[in-house]
Structure 1
């Protein structure tokens, strides 16, 4: 099956921070894949803008090297790469001064889609937004893309939203969360709202509980200074896990449109109840045979920042009353795995006896690796000897089901950037959504700071602290095993 390519209009995309790590690892290799697939129309241009003193030729050489390193198998297509590089240009820019802005104004066209990617620190967002307008570069139809963190608390998020709103309308602002660009995340909506099988069961009458796990094997080494100021709650829960929770729990929108979807997500966040202290577990990885401790990686021997967090949440509405949502995420865990698990209730009455009666249906949605989903169903074990029941998965791994050599699954960043060019905000967070998430998150952080809470140590390469296991065991439930 060959993926259907939806064309976009010609565009000028300016990447502030165009020489940075994100641009080299994700943004430019992703755009090259979109170019190679035929989705980047003739006449489109990508303009890097950063402090580095480069010219256009030097920038094209940098990006060619980046694509060779991070572009995957497609990077070997040298003819296509050569053509793609002709779309690139570069302007040295002073985000807080005047240098480079007149040159950028001459380059950016008014008769094509304009998009400006702020791949820089949030402290520069206001300076960039102001200079785009004072130099006559941006227009009422321009779009800006901003990366997280969207503040570090409610107050700073409000300030950031006010700064952006000074120069851009909300309809022009695209707050990007790459988790929402994953194929399986979008399939959440397709599975829920496109199948009569699931929606009637998607409520507290049939669902026992839901687990959301985002496990990483990497440490914080190399970004310890940033991570030690944020921790797992600010870095992962407030945005990535919150968005997954919204998509799994929201009501059916009236249509598949940006505001309709985001309105329903906002209702979920506003319905989240405060979390009791004994329903939160914070952890910090200890040294292991193949790595340093968190404190060594963060270069802070007295750090109490969490690299792991698990919690039990409830949503106060009719659909999800009394259904617990268990969230967990952490660094240096046993495997890299992101998964949403919907565990359905036991049968109201089972005709089987003993162990044969203890079987449940479980829907598992894998975000990474091996994107796909499976539904655990109960069948009779083949062979003679009576009625012995076993659980087997109805497996739909995308690569297997659709043919991994024939279907092109776009990377999250390239998918979302193309949505920016189309003007589709469905998979991007709205300002009030960000503020509502912080409004729920802030009291949790303030609570453990007031209690002088110390994270529980856990072995690097494990499933996290033992207290996180007990969070489930107290409810006679178990976490799904973390596996790649």
Structure 2
């Protein structure tokens, strides 16, 4: 089932930090794949901007090398396409905090067309870039800026960042990107909920026992040690990625599929989150094994108490979800790389099959990675003679199997989100008040464990995390789903 590609009008896209790691690994390959798909009209221009001294020819060679390294797993690009893509590229040597290069960049802008500015740099430069774009006349009504996380490290810094951007850009021009929201399965979650009458009547505490959200990684902190030790799993993953997944699962149906209508409902969920007590939170830190270094070997502070794993139980305090707990967990160096949302429904109120003594529950699982798809566990009779014994089996909709080979080549998160920026669609981007509300909930949790001096619990590489995390569910007779790729 081939997806329909709708070309967009020619646009100018400037990548600040155009020689950086994010540009090489994600942004440029994503743009190239959209070029291969025929979504970019002739005349579109992509401009790299960074401090490195480089001309257009050198930058085109740099990009070609990046595409050969990071685009090898994608098909659909004919031989010679890289050379055609290179014609869209140019480069400006630029100082974000000085004046060098800004006149040259402004001269490259086409009047009357969408111009997007991707801030693929550290948050400390966001305000400077916004101010320079305004100063040099590029922050007009056709301009949009894309900012990567982290959006601050607490409520105060997030508010300051929002204020600085608002001095030069309207909220409708600011795209706070979270690549998790660009995943095909995340968007299918909204289609599943609001496009099928089957689930919505059951989507509440009367029928749902609990919900688990898991984002597990097998990699360690690696070269991100300096940043990660200041952030930890709570700031790096829970406050943004897992929070967004929680909002999409728990939110009320919006009146229409409109950016502000969707984000209004997500904001209500964040504001309805209850406090998280000490007994409802587990923090961990991975140990070294005979092959891989531990967390403390990746960071400068040998006594660091920053968490690489976190699990928590929380409640959404409203009529729909009163009494239904949500369990979140994320960590590094776990047994498998897997991201999923599991909606665990309650058991049937009465088991009429006296020969069957098992416990059976319907579980709707939305797999984000790997093998994107949706499973629904249903209970059937076990085949064969011998009575009415029941067994749970999955109704599996792996996208690559259900939708054909084109599903494997579907646009990835960065492709989709960048094109949404060009089209002016903010549905999958966070609004400023949404970010601030998330920090307002997160800050007291962090402050409480810092005040107590709590230390993370060591856990073995390749495990499911600290054993204490199991107790979050065991206390109520529940258990975590096994992490599996």
Task: Compute the TM-score of the two structures, normalised by the length of structure 2.
Answer: 0.98
* 1:443-470 Cα deviation digits (max 9, x unpaired): 0000000010000000011100000011
Residues 117, 145 of structure 1: 8 Å contact kept: yes
1:65 aligns with 2:35: no
- Bigger Cα displacement from structure 2, 69-78 vs 117-126: 69-78
3-state SS of 1:390 partner: strand
What's the counterpart of residue 148 of structure 1? 149
Report the equivalent of 2:255. Answer: 254
CA distance in 2, matches of 1:257, 1:405: 28
Q: Which residue of 2 aligns with 1:13?
A: 13
Distance in 2, Cα, partners of 1:353 & 1:322: 30
Unaligned stretches of 5+ in structure 2? none
C-alpha distance in 1 between matches for 2:312 and 2:184: 26
Rounded Cα–Cα distance in structure 2 between residues aligned with 1:406 and 1:164: 37
Structure 1 residue 39 corresponds to structure 2 residue 36: no
- CA deviations on 1:297-351 (whole Å, 9 max, x unpaired) are 1232110000000000000000000100000000000100000000000111121
Q: Secondary structure at the match of 1:461?
A: coil
For 2:224 and 2:479, locate their aligned partners in 1 and report how far apart those are by CA, in whole Å. Answer: 32
Return closer, same or farther for 1:128/1:62 CA change in 2, 3 Å cut-off: same
User: Is the Cα–Cα contact under 8 Å of residues 262 and 430 in structure 1 kept in the other structure?
Assistant: yes
Do the aligned residues in 1 keep the contact of 2:356 with 2:388 (CA within 8 Å)?
Answer: no
* Cross-structure match for 1:367: 368
Aligned to 2:4: 4
Residue-by-residue CA offset, 1:65-98 (whole Å, 9 max, x unaligned): 0000001244973311110110000000000000
Q: Which moved more, 1:70-79 or 1:264-273?
A: 70-79
- Residue 246 (structure 2) pairs with residue 245 (structure 1): yes
CA drift of 1:403 comes to 0.9
Q: Is 1:310 aligned with 2:311?
A: yes
Q: Is the 8 A contact 1:341 1:362 kept in 2?
A: yes
What is the CA–CA distance in structure 2 between the aligned matches of 1:194 and 1:18, rounded to whole Å?
39
Counterpart for residue 135 of structure 1:
136
Structure 2 distance, partners of 1:151, 1:288, is: 34
CA–CA distance in structure 2, aligned partners of residues 76 and 219 of structure 1:
33
* Segment of structure 1 superposing worse, 285-294 or 275-284: 285-294
Partner of 1:52: 52
User: Take 2:264 and 2:366, find their aligned partners in 1: how far apart are those partners?
Assistant: 24
User: 1:379 aligns to what SS in structure 2?
Assistant: strand
Alpha-carbon offset, residue 9 of structure 1: 1.6
Q: Distance in 1 between matches of 2:375 and 2:423?
A: 32
What are the ranges of 5 or more consecutive residues in structure 1 without an aligned counterpart? none
Matched residue, 1:416: 417
Is the Cα contact below 8 Å between 1:312 and 1:324 reproduced in 2?
yes
Aligned-partner SS, 2:96? coil
Judge conservation of contact 2:75–2:409 (CA < 8 Å) in 1.
no
Contact 1:12 1:45 in 2 (8 A): yes
* Counterparts of residues 158-169 of structure 1 (less than 5 Å): 158-169=159-170
Alignment-derived partner of residue 194 in structure 1: 195
- Aligned equivalent of 2:216: 215
Correspondence list, 1:323-472, <5 A: 323-353=324-354, 355-356=356-357, 358-405=359-406, 408-472=409-473
Q: Which residue matches 2:282?
A: 281
Shift of 1:357: 5.1
**Partner Cα separation in structure 2 for residue 301 and residue 34 of structure 1:** 45
Equivalent pair of 2:399/2:407 in contact (CA under 8 Å): no
Alignment of 1:254-273 (within 5 A): 254-273=255-274
Mean Cα displacement is larger for which, 64-73 or 174-183? Answer: 64-73
Equivalent residues, number: 484
RMSD of aligned alpha carbons: 1.1
1:24-59 deviations in Å (ceiling 9; x for gaps) = 000000100000001111110100000100000111
Whole-Å separation in 1 of the counterparts to 2:407 and 2:225: 40
Partners of 2:332 and 2:409 in 1: CA distance:
30
- Residue pair 1:350, 1:357 contacting (<8 A) in 2 also: no
**What is the distance in 2 between the residues matched to 1:247 and 1:7?**
28
TM-score by length of 1: 0.99
CA distance in 1, matches of 2:367, 2:408: 18
**C-alpha separation in 2, matches of 1:262 and 1:377:** 33
The whole-number CA distance in structure 1 between the counterparts of 2:227 and 2:354 is 55
Structure 1 SS opposite 2:298: helix
| Distance across 2 between alignment mates of 1:350 and 1:381 | 16
